[in-house]
């Protein structure tokens, strides 16, 4: 996972330049869903031009482009729906920060879909163009992340959805994207808990790496969420016919979710930072304990070794009364043991007083 994951053109490139992304093995699919309160029609398009027949109808049209879109398709869609060059450039240059740009009769929204897979957080840029009665979505993944929405729209007894205007569809998509944050956070929460348990029991270098990685992912997630909240906020404040008053209560709910996710995230970040301190303290603690064991052993045996060393000296000339007379005493050997046991007892008493034993 790289730190810098933004696609960008060489500085000085003309704005609106569309450069093909690196070759990708993923297929491109263009799904069209045309609906009114009465009917829902689904169609897989072969090229951008195929959506022309739907352009002038009064029905609402949702075009979802999944997979790596090529500049040509983008340019065609741009001409058909009069999309702004700068916006089209942003669709191709992945790694945008979530935002809403308001053009004359159109909104351009970029947002990020978080996915936690194989123990790693990944984010995918979703781009949405919203007009009076159409919504064009772009997602670089092979599978459509919005399948649950499609399912709800198809349900014959759920007319409430399809009778509403296109902004309700926009809400439904954004709501899904934001709510994908909950399972990710749940994963983070689980990881934090298992790290915490590890931390207070047996922390090692790997725990450190795991905390670092977690902090990094929380940081990435946070970098994505702050502008997302701002984006929902802008949508709610936009004084434009594209967002109707009766959708506002739903967007408010969306906003609540973003704020909730962000607050959880912030407290996770706080906990992860606190964990590093705990880790450091734990290691210091263990070093201290190791030191204590060493000190006890060394402090007891070093003086003893000195004592036995004394009587290992070869001064034992039996004719010299000054030369280690102890060696010649009858109880010399037992007395040395008494001395050594005394020294040990004194040291144990000393350690007890210091609460080391």
Site for its own copies in 219-238 (CB under 8 A): 219-220, 222-223, 226-227
- Of 57 and 152, CB closest to its own copies: 152
Site for its own copies in 296-315 (CB under 8 A): 297-299, 301-306, 308-315
Query: Where are the alpha helices (H) located in 33-146, listed in sequence order?
Result: 71-81, 85-92
Cα torsion angle, 230, 234, 236, 237, sign: positive
Q: Binding of its own copies at residue 334 (CB under 8 A)?
A: yes
- Of 53 and 332, CB closest to its own copies: 332
Measured CA to CA, the distance from residue 234 to residue 79 in angstroms comes to: 27
Cβ atoms 71, 85 nearer than 8 A: no
Candidates 37-45, 54-62, 74-82, 147-155 — which segment interacts with its own copies by CB under 8 A? 147-155
Q: Binding of its own copies at residue 263 (CB under 8 A)?
A: yes
- Of 28 and 103, CB closest to its own copies: 103
Site for its own copies in 26-85 (CB under 8 A): 84
- The single residue listed with the structure tokens 């034992």 is 316
Q: Binding of its own copies at residue 278 (CB under 8 A)?
A: yes
Q: Binding of its own copies at residue 248 (CB under 8 A)?
A: no
What is 236-276 written as a DSSP string?
HH--STTS-HHHHHHHHHHHHHHHHHHHHHHHHHHHHHHHH
* Shortest Å distance, C-beta 24 to its own copies: 21
Question: Which member of 141, 248, 264, 348 binds its own copies (CB under 8 A)?
Answer: 264
Q: Binding of its own copies at residue 336 (CB under 8 A)?
A: yes
- The single residue listed with the structure tokens 């205007």 is 165
For 352, what's the count of Cα atoms within 13 Å in the CB-facing half-sphere? 6
Candidates 32-40, 65-73, 118-126, 246-254 — which segment interacts with its own copies by CB under 8 A? 246-254
Q: Binding of its own copies at residue 156 (CB under 8 A)?
A: no
Q: Which phi-psi region, left, alpha or beta, contains residue 175 (left: φ > 0; alpha: ψ -120 to 50)?
A: alpha
Q: Binding of its own copies at residue 348 (CB under 8 A)?
A: no
- Of 47 and 290, CB closest to its own copies: 290
Closest to 213 in 3D by CA, of 3, 21, 4: 3
Measured CA to CA, the distance from residue 241 to residue 113 in angstroms comes to: 27
Site for its own copies in 160-219 (CB under 8 A): 161, 172, 175-177, 179-180, 182-183, 185-186, 188-190, 192-193, 196, 200, 202, 204-205, 208-209, 212, 215-216, 219
Stated length of the chain: 357
Measured CA to CA, the distance from residue 344 to residue 223 in angstroms comes to: 62
Q: Binding of its own copies at residue 316 (CB under 8 A)?
A: yes
Site for its own copies in 78-117 (CB under 8 A): 84, 86, 96-97, 99, 101, 103
- Token output for 150: 């499609």
- Token output for 23: 């070759």
* Shortest Å distance, C-beta 218 to its own copies: 10
- Of 50 and 234, CB closest to its own copies: 234
């Amino acid at each position: 996972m790289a730190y810098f994951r933004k696609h960008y053109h060489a500085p000085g490139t003309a704005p609106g330049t569309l450069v093909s992304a690196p070759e990708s093995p993923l297929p491109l699919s263009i799904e069209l869903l045309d609906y009114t309160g009465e009917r829902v029609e689904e169609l897989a398009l072969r090229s951008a031009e195929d959506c022309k027949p739907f352009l002038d109808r009064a029905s609402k049209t949702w075009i979802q482009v999944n997979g790596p879109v090529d500049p040509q398709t983008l340019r065609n869609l741009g001409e058909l729906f009069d999309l702004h060059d700068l916006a089209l450039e942003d669709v191709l240059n992945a790694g945008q920060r979530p935002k809403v740009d308001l053009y004359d009769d159109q909104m351009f929204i970029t947002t990020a879909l978080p996915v936690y897979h194989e123990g790693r957080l990944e984010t995918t840029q979703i781009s949405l163009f919203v007009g009076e009665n159409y919504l064009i979505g772009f997602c670089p993944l092979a599978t459509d992340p919005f399948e649950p929405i499609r399912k709800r729209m198809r349900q014959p007894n759920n007319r409430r959805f399809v009778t509403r205007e296109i902004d309700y569809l926009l809400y439904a998509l954004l709501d899904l994207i934001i709510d994908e944050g909950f399972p990710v956070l749940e994963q983070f929460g689980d990881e934090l808990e298992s790290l915490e348990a590890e931390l207070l029991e047996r922390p090692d270098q790997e725990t450190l790496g795991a905390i670092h990685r977690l902090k990094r992912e929380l940081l990435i997630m946070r970098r994505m969420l702050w502008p997302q909240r701002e984006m929902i906020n802008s949508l709610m404040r936009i004084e434009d016919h594209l967002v109707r008053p009766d959708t506002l209560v739903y967007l408010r709910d969306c906003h609540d979710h973003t704020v909730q996710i962000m607050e959880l995230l912030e407290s996770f970040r706080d906990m992860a930072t606190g964990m590093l301190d705990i880790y450091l303290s734990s290691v210091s603690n263990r070093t201290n304990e190791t030191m204590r064991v060493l000190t006890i052993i060394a402090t007891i045996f070093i003086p003893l070794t000195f004592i036995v060393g004394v009587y290992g000296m070869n001064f034992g000339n039996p004719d010299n009364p000054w030369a280690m007379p102890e060696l010649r005493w009858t109880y010399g050997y037992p007395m040395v043991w008494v001395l050594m046991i005394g020294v040990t007892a004194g040291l144990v008493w000393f350690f007890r007083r210091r609460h080391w034993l």
